[in-house]
Amino acid sequence: MDAQFWDDRYRSQDQLFSGHPNGVLVTEVTDLPPGRALDVGCGEGADAIWLARRGWQVTGVDISQVALDRAADAAARAGVEKVTWTRADLSATPPQAGAYDLVSAQYFPLRRRADHVALRALIDAVAPGGTLLFVGHDLADLTPDNPHAADAHQYYRPDEIPALLDDTWTVLVDGKRPRTAPGPPGTHHTHDTVLRCVRTASAVA
């Protein structure tokens, strides 16, 4: 899943995703005071735009320049200015440590590594007092004939992350829930797995 893969996937359709913010993001973030947010794998920008409209200063990061160009166009049409669109491979280029009041990863395919270096970098990007929101598809929804079933276990699941957190973190949500909107056509995703946790204000970045 390199840049070429994602560029080609976005080019295969005029619009790959719905254009609406992810339901878990809306549910879990609405009550948070705005600050600096990192939208991991921002795609066509719906989540970042939603956050910016609510006062967040957002950095939307994606490996696909095609997706970022669409996101920037959508933000311009919406009159949204509080988003910085950045092309980066977060598995190789870590975000700034301790810089974000919210790190949101919605269905982001982060490949497992023995040293967990890329995942730890996302965790470390959360500022003291900030929130990590990591959302994935429930693997129980993947039937054997699904083209993603074979390699789904190569990527981190939200329920694996608490084991990597130290005692400066408090887990608020760690579980499965029905999706608030249908999954993309042909995917059969009916449930999400959700992790929301907060880093204590006294944590050292």
pTM value?
A: 0.86
> Is 21 domain-assigned?
no
pLDDT the model gives residue 9: 80
Is pLDDT at 88 greater than 90 in this prediction? yes
112 and 180 co-located in one domain: yes
Mean predicted confidence (pLDDT) in 108-112? 89
pLDDT the model gives residue 155: 87
pLDDT the model gives residue 90: 86
The pLDDT tens digits for 48-84 are 999 999 999 999 999 999 999 999 999 999 999 889 9
- Mean residue pLDDT of the chain comes to 86
157 and 57 co-located in one domain: no
84 and 146 co-located in one domain: no
> Is 19 domain-assigned?
no
Domain boundary among 24, 54, 89: 89
Residue range of the domain that includes 106: 98-205
pLDDT the model gives residue 13: 72
> Is 17 domain-assigned?
no
123 and 169 co-located in one domain: yes
pLDDT the model gives residue 205: 44
Query: Per-residue DSSP letters for 115-169?
Result: T-HHHHHHHHTEEEEEEEEEEEE-GGG--TTSTTTTTGGGB--GGGGGGG--TTE
143 and 49 co-located in one domain: no
74 and 118 co-located in one domain: no
> Is 28 domain-assigned?
no
Domain boundary among 59, 89, 119: 89
User: Which of 166, 155, 153, 193 has its CA nearest to residue 177?
Assistant: 193
Phi, psi of 179 (to 5 degrees): -65, 145
**What is the percent of the chain where pLDDT is above 70?**
83
129 and 158 co-located in one domain: yes
76 and 110 co-located in one domain: no
The pLDDT tens digits for 154-165 are 889 999 999 999
Q: pLDDT band for position 185 (50/70/90)?
A: low
Q: How many domains are contained in the chain?
A: 2
Q: Hey, what are 67's tokens?
A: 């997706």
Mean predicted confidence (pLDDT) in 7-27? 80
157 and 75 co-located in one domain: no
